[in-house]
């Protein structure tokens, strides 16, 4: 197997969000250089190249020189997620077995309270009129009960051509037991509609649960036209700019894949941005010897994302909903468990019909952006509030590259403050308080509801807006320690630097603990290994090296509905001892999650998954050393830390702080791409790892 050091040179990671495009360039010594620019949705490479040029300028190089020195570029984007949330997807046909046209309509129930008739039943992901029934039937054992009616299928495809459908999702009943009919439909699609994107459910997500497989198939097909063009354009633009290295894409599992593997399966880019923040958070927490419970928060321009790390492991969700549970749409594939709420730096403050102040979920985005950006925005945002409260120096935003308009921010906030009888400052503080409360509730959702005391966890705070309000949030949650990396504004892009290339393959083999079918399970695991080995071999041929393989199964007690994941004690079940170990592992997981177990009940094992992780070459983290005497504050600024009077806060510039310096609040630490606000009763110390370790007094 090729040594991973063959993939040499610098490494670039890119995270394109709704407001900013973030770039991190890692050199041979592991030093990170940050670049930022406003995102350009019309042509993503424009924002990417601007951010990369910004980083290159900090290195004293040109854009072409940085690209020429780099061997790996990892790209993450919110484009797929935004397309799904806004409904900006391709016109997609859903082909399913005759007699089962309402799989996407009925989903897994539509709301928590089925007798609440004031709440309308949610619409399906694809309109019901875009569903077409295919005459065929296979049973749960894979036996063909009714052959595929090819003449009728051809007629359906002719209808799709006439109605100008742009993509096709195919999810037939029990295709996971025998895919012959789905495979034949794929051949007919290529024959009748050459070039039209399509997705076959058994090939994308071969799991037992019809709705989840159908939903993931529909989502994947619906974003294929958009994402395939997007990724191919990105490839072409990078090559034209002179980049010759590997292009990887971040995925929803917290890893990355080569771009050629993602293009056929773009569903893996959905929610891939939030998935990378905990990868970075785990690394930064470990550097500060925080190994138990860690909360990773990422406050961007549009959303606030929170994820949980326990004992060094990132929490993975099997049930990932895009939107509200039951009312949204099921992603259908495992994903990093990151809870998102519409509360970021660009979140808009508004008054509801009852006259109450609300913040988010609507965001001003990159254009027109907050009012203070002077790009045409008129509505008040959290960033405008931070400017009015004195947290931001209008002449030092993005290290001085962008001047903010204080008067525009005050005018925007006055529009919501005046009807409430509040001064501009009081309205700005109220915007922060409401926004922080939304974030606190999101943190409680992922901790308290899971039986975890947030006060016992450390917080790693990232995102360009994280430093504004994270310490009041931590105080409310009784968290004593907060880690704010100097690279906080590009947390997700940093996570890509620490990620592995990962691929998962699955097979559905239902079996029970009381009658465990070792032969069928082992055969399925062997089939999974064939796919994983081929993928790893392809990467090895390109210079990527060390690999690790792990296996898990989704299981539940008989008569239960929801599954939990269990890691396999061995790659094969050669003896009954391995089966017994798996059964005990399930009981232990169930006890940990639900505080109860039922050893007398049989266990149903359903979906078997193998994951191969291929390590990217990693440099040792560059550590800072003290340089010169402490320089102290560069001045003071009046800032509002509570609902009372403004106070004088000492202002520090990040490039003038040395390792070990301790800063006591009230103070404001200004880095080039983020700001850390220290209220009274807090103190921060710059660590050799390049993070600020903040402690809070109670």
Q: What is the pLDDT of residue 628?
A: 65
Distance CA 460, CA 462 (A): 7
R_g of the chain computed on alpha carbons: 26
Q: What is the pLDDT of residue 4?
A: 36
Q: What is the pLDDT of residue 273?
A: 77
**Sign of the CA dihedral running 636, 639, 642, 644:** positive
Reduce the DSSP state of residue 652 to 3 states and report it. strand
Nearest one of 344, 417, 361, 444 to 17, comparing CA atoms:
344
Q: What are phi and psi of 542, to 5 degrees?
A: -100, 5
Please give the DSSP secondary-structure letter assigned to residue 406.
H
Residue recorded with tokens 């709705």: 211
**Sign of the CA dihedral running 287, 289, 291, 296:** negative
Distance CA 35, CA 468 (A): 20
Segment (H or E) for 37: strand 32-38
Distance CA 176, CA 686 (A): 54
Q: How is residue 328 written in tokens? A: 């949204």
Q: Structure pTM?
A: 0.86
Q: What is the pLDDT of residue 549?
A: 94
Q: Which residues contact residue 129 at a Cβ distance below 8 angstroms, ignoring those fewer than 6 apart?
A: none
Q: Which residues contact residue 198 at a Cβ distance below 8 angstroms, ignoring those fewer than 6 apart?
A: 167, 168, 169, 170, 186, 189, 221, 224
How many alpha carbons lie under 13 Å from residue 602 in its C-beta half-sphere? 12
Upstream peptide bond of 368 is cis (omega within 30 degrees of 0) = yes
Q: What is the pLDDT of residue 7?
A: 60
Distance CA 607, CA 587 (A): 17
How many alpha carbons lie under 13 Å from residue 132 in its C-beta half-sphere? 21
Upstream peptide bond of 361 is cis (omega within 30 degrees of 0) = yes
Distance CA 87, CA 7 (A): 39
pLDDT along the chain (698 residues), means of 10: 52 85 88 86 86 92 92 90 85 97 87 74 92 96 95 97 97 95 97 96 92 96 95 93 92 91 93 87 89 85 84 82 80 86 85 90 82 90 94 87 91 94 94 91 81 86 88 91 91 90 92 95 96 91 85 92 89 94 94 88 95 81 64 87 88 90 92 90 92 91
Give the model confidence (pLDDT) of 236-273 as tens digits: 999 999 999 999 999 998 999 999 999 999 999 998 87
Q: What is the pLDDT of residue 625?
A: 58
Give the number of residues written for the chain: 698
Q: What is the pLDDT of residue 1?
A: 30
Q: What is the pLDDT of residue 6?
A: 43
Q: What is the pLDDT of residue 626?
A: 64
């Amino acid at each position: 197997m090729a040594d991973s050091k063959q993939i040499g040179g610098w490494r670039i990671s890119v995270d394109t969000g709704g407001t900013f495009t973030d770039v991190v360039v890692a050199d041979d010594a592991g030093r990170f250089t940050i670049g930022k620019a406003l995102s350009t949705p019309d042509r993503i490479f424009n924002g990417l190249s601007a951010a990369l040029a910004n980083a290159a300028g900090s290195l004293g190089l040109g854009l072409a020189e940085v690209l020429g020195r780099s061997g790996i570029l990892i790209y993450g984007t919110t484009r797929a997620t935004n397309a799904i949330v806004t409904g900006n997807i391709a016109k997609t046909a859903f082909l399913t077995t005759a007699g089962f046209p309402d799989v996407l309509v009925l989903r897994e129930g539509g709301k928590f309270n089925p007798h609440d008739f004031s709440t309308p039943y949610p619409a399906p992901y694809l309109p019901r009129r875009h569903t077409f029934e295919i005459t065929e039937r296979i049973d749960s054992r894979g036996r063909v009960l009714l052959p595929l009616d090819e003449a009728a299928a051809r007629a359906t495809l002719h209808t799709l051509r006439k109605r100008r459908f742009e993509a096709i999702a195919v999810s037939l009943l029990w295709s996971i037991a025998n895919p012959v009919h789905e495979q034949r439909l794929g051949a007919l699609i290529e024959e009748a509609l050459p070039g039209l994107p399509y997705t076959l459910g058994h090939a994308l997500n071969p799991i037992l649960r019809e709705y989840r497989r159908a939903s993931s198939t529909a989502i994947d097909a619906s974003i294929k036209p958009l994402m395939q063009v997007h990724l191919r354009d990105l490839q072409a633009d990078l090559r034209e700019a002179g980049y010759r290295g590997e292009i990887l894409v971040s995925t929803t599992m917290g890893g990355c894949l080569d771009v050629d593997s993602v293009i056929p399966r773009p569903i893996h880019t959905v929610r891939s941005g939030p998935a990378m923040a905990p990868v970075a958070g785990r690394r930064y927490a470990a550097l500060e010897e925080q190994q138990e419970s860690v909360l990773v928060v990422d406050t961007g321009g549009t959303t606030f994302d929170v994820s949980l790390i326990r004992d060094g492991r990132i929490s993975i969700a099997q049930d990932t909903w895009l939107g509200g549970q039951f009312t949204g749409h099921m992603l259908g594939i495992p994903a990093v468990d990151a809870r998102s709420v519409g509360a970021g730096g660009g979140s808009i403050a508004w008054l509801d019909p009852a006259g109450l102040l609300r913040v988010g979920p609507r965001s001003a985005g990159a254009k027109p952006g907050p009012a203070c950006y002077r790009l045409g925005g008129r509505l008040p945002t959290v960033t405008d509030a931070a400017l009015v409260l004195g947290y931001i120096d209008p002449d030092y935003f993005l290290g001085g590259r962008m001047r903010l308009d204080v008067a525009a921010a005050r005018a925007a906030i006055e529009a919501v403050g005046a009807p409430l009888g509040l001064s501009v400052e009081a309205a700005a503080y109220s915007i922060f308080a409401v926004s922080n409360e939304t974030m606190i509730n999101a943190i409680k959702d992922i901790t308290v509801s899971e039986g975890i005391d947030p006060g016992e966890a450390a917080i790693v705070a990232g995102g360009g807006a994280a430093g504004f309000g994270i310490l009041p949030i931590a105080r409310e949650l009784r968290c004593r320690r907060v880690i704010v990396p100097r690279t906080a504004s590009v947390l997700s892009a940093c996570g890509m630097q620490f990620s592995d290339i990962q691929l998962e393959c699955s097979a559905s083999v239902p079996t029970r603990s009381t009658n465990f079918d070792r032969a069928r399970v082992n055969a399925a695991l062997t089939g999974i290994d064939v796919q994983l080995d081929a993928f790893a071999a392809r990467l090895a041929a390109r210079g990527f090296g060390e690999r690790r393989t792990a296996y898990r199964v989704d299981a539940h007690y008989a008569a239960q509905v929801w599954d939990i994941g269990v890691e396999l004690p061995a790659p094969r079940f050669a003896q009954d001892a391995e089966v017994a170990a798996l059964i005990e592992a399930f009981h232990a997981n169930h006890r940990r999650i639900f505080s109860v177990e039922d050893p007398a009940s049989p266990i149903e094992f359903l979906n078997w998954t193998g994951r191969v992780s291929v390590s990217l070459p990693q440099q040792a983290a560059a550590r800072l050393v003290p340089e010169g005497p402490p320089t102290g504050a560069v001045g003071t600024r009046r800032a509002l830390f509570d609902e009372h009077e403004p106070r004088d806060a000492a202002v520090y510039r990040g490039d003038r702080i040395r390792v070990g310096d301790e800063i006591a609040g009230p103070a404001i630490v200004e880095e080039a791409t983020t700001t850390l606000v220290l209220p009274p009763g807090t103190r921060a110390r710059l660590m050799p790892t390049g993070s600020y370790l903040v402690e809070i007094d109670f």
